[in-house]
Amino acid sequence: MNEKVAFLLNQQINKEFYSAYLYLDMANYYDEQDLDGYANYYMVQAQEERDHALLFLKYMQINGLKVTLDAIDKPDKVFTSLLDPLEMAAEHERYVTALINDIYHEAHQAKDYRTMKFLDWFVDEQMEEEDNADTMISRYKLFGQDPKGLYLLDQEYAARVYAAPSLVL
Ligand code: MG
Extents of the domains making up the chain: 3-158
List C-alpha distances in Å: 63 to 93, 100, 138, 162.
27, 19, 41, 28
List, for residues 52-108, the tens digit of each pLDDT value: 999 999 999 999 999 999 999 999 999 999 999 999 999 999 999 999 999 999 999
Contact 106, 66 (CB under 8 A): no
Looking at the domain that runs over 3-158, which CATH code has it been given? 1.20.1260.10
Q: How far is the CA of 96 from the centre of ligand 1 (A)?
A: 7
Q: How far is the CA of 40 from the centre of ligand 1 (A)?
A: 17
pTM over 0.85: yes
Q: How far is the CA of 48 from the centre of ligand 1 (A)?
A: 7
In this structure, which residues have their CB less than 5 angstroms from ion ligand 1? 16, 49, 52
What is the rounded distance in angstroms from the CA atom of residue 8 to the CA atom of residue 56?
10
